Amino acid sequence: MSAFKNLPEIQQAVLEAKHDASSAIAETEEPQVFDLFDLEDIYIKKTPSTQDGAFLYVSEDDSGYWLKGGNQQFTMESRILRSSGSKYDLSLDGFIKNSPNPNGKTIIDWMKEISFNKILLELRRWLNQIRKEFKNCYLIVYDTTSVEILWEMIDLTPDDEETNYAGAVIRIARWKEIIKGDSFIFLEPQEIAAGGEITAYLNNAELPTLDEEDELKKLKAKIYLHSQISEFCDRLKCKTTPVNLAYIAAHGYYEDIAFGCSEYKVSRLDLLKESLSAILNGKGIVFMNACHTAQAQPNEIVPGTYRYDFIDLFFNKGANGVIGTVSAVGTDTAKRIGCQFLQKCQDREVPPVAEVLRQIRADAVNRWKQDNNHGALVYAFMYVYYGNPLAVLRLTPPQPGGQA
């Protein structure tokens, strides 16, 4: 039995293990890929590409959080135990709700505090070792906790360097339990490109979406505005014309797991009963440029670790990757990041979607060092990517003469 399937066994193993306290990284003479655990425990299939990956498993029980990580050479295991009768709160939303005056600077300071605290020391060492030894390594985070932890913003800065966050220097993808029918979906890391048309829904009545609309028009996207949200959903059902990118710029509603505007909304449940064939046939990427769209809700009727959100919805419908936000995002930053994403996916050599987001975060860090806009920096790291770490989205601009 894998260690991940029985937390008491993990506890016993960690307590009995005799590790050198000066090092949190274990290296074997002949490295075994992911020797801490079986990838099937986190619903990932082994492929030739998994040898380039690092995998972080995060779980929780009554005693605290459990972290285990491994790649082809280095492993890490760490525990964050209860303190003063309660678990250390690593949740971004928890910090925001419990802070008297939360803002960009207080969030940055908080992330630095928990990054350099003893509780994440072993994780930082492991990630820094990986980025030093494996230049093209990607990281998949499989987080089963009940809170939204901003792993992309863990500060990895060595003492002699300027600030660098994990999501700005490492290509990060996330994965989770996703039920389809009577089984779970397995992630299969491999180079694959989405194909088909670009379709978008823009809440242009309540949000400043003009810049995004201009970029989408250059790409000959099919655009639905404000009250046309039903027509947008109908487009996703089309069986004959696949969708390469489904782009949504709207309000996001956490309580309802919905997107749209104040007058017109579409919820996760509305789409769950539909067959979104256009996404399935194109193996498309879904970019939800809306607040809270990567945040999950527990099932109030059936207790357990399974959580519901737009992520599990779109993977159920055949998506190859989904981008959403883990909290509320400012409108100016949202439109900038949306435009950056659309532009970067038009490059001659388009990198994987997870790498595009890494570049966007790195750009945000460099901009922050110049303008000191703390809020814009934090918002950039609230965008997270779920799915195939090697999925590529090629958006082809029209050629001279008007031919696409």
pLDDT tens per residue, range 120-157: 889 999 999 999 999 889 999 999 988 888 999 999 98
213 and 362 fall within a common domain: yes
Q: What average pLDDT does range 337-364 have in this prediction?
A: 95
181 pLDDT band, cuts 50/70/90, is confident
Is pLDDT above 90 for 159?
no
Examine residue 186 and state whether it is found in any structural domain, yes or no: no
Among residues 180, 200, 215, which one ends one of the domains?
180
Checking if the pLDDT of 26 tops 60, the result is no
Report strand pairing: 383-387 vs 391-392. Answer: unpaired
Residue 82, in any domain of the structure: yes
pLDDT average, residue stretch 36-62: 91
Can you give the pLDDT at residue 29? 43
Question: How does DSSP classify residue 350?
Answer: P
Q: Which residues contact 183 (CB under 8 A, 6 or more apart)?
A: none
| 20 has a pLDDT exceeding 50 | no
Confidence label for 208 from pLDDT (cuts 50, 70 and 90): very high
Rounded average pLDDT over 299-304:
66
Tell me, yes or no, whether 113 and 209 share the same domain: no
CATH at residue 343:
3.40.50.1460
Q: Is there a domain that residue 185 lies in?
A: no
Same domain for 106 and 168, yes or no, is yes
Q: Is the pLDDT of residue 404 over 90?
A: no
For residues 255 and 285, which has the higher predicted lDDT (pLDDT)? 285
Establish if 399 belongs to a structural domain.
no
- Pick from 180, 211, 236: which residue ends a domain? 180
329-341 pLDDT per residue, tens: 999 999 999 999 9
The amino acid sitting at 114 is: I
Q: Do residues 143 and 7 share a domain?
A: yes
By mean pLDDT, which of 20-24, 59-63, 266-270, 281-285 is the weakest?
Answer: 20-24
Report the percent of the chain where pLDDT is more than 90.
Answer: 66
Helix (H, G, I), strand (E, B) or coil at 262: coil
Residue ending a domain, among 146, 180, 214, is 180
Shared domain for 195 and 135, answered yes or no, is no
pLDDT at 9: 41
For residue 102, count CB atoms less than 10 angstroms from its CB and return exposed for 0-12, middle for 13-18, buried for 19 or more: middle
Give yes or no: residues 157 and 299 share one domain: no
260 and 137 assigned to the same domain: no
400 within some domain:
no
- Checking if the pLDDT of 5 tops 60, the result is no
Q: How many CA atoms lie within 13 A of 390 on its CB side?
A: 15
C-beta of residue 160 within 8 angstroms of C-beta of residue 102: no
169 and 32, same structural domain?
A: yes
CA R_g for the chain: 21
Q: Is residue 283 part of a domain?
A: yes
Residue 397 lies in a domain: no
Alpha-carbon span 19 to 37, nearest angstrom: 18
Confirm if 130 and 137 have CB atoms less than 8 A apart: yes
Backbone phi and psi for residue 263, each to the nearest 5 degrees, phi listed first: -95, -35
Q: What is the pLDDT of residue 302?
A: 61
Q: How many domains, the chain?
A: 2
Angle, alpha carbons 84-86-91 (nearest 5°): 125
Q: What is the pLDDT, as a whole number, of residue 193?
A: 87
Task: Give the residue from 241, 237, 253, 243 showing the smallest Cα distance to 200.
Answer: 243
**Tell me, what DSSP letter sits at residue 329?**
-
Predicted local distance difference test score (pLDDT) of residue 118: 80
* 22-28 average pLDDT score: 37
Question: Tokens for 320?
Answer: 């190859």
pLDDT for 116 equals: 86
Domain that holds residue 230: 191-392
CB 76 within 8 A of CB 69: yes
Q: Do the domain assignments include residue 398?
A: no
Strand partners, 327: none
Same domain, 170 and 195: no
Phi, psi of 54 (to 5 degrees): -120, 150
Q: Are residues 158 and 199 in the same domain?
A: no
What is the pLDDT at residue 81?
Answer: 75
10 and 143 within one domain: yes
Say whether both 349 and 277 belong to one domain.
yes
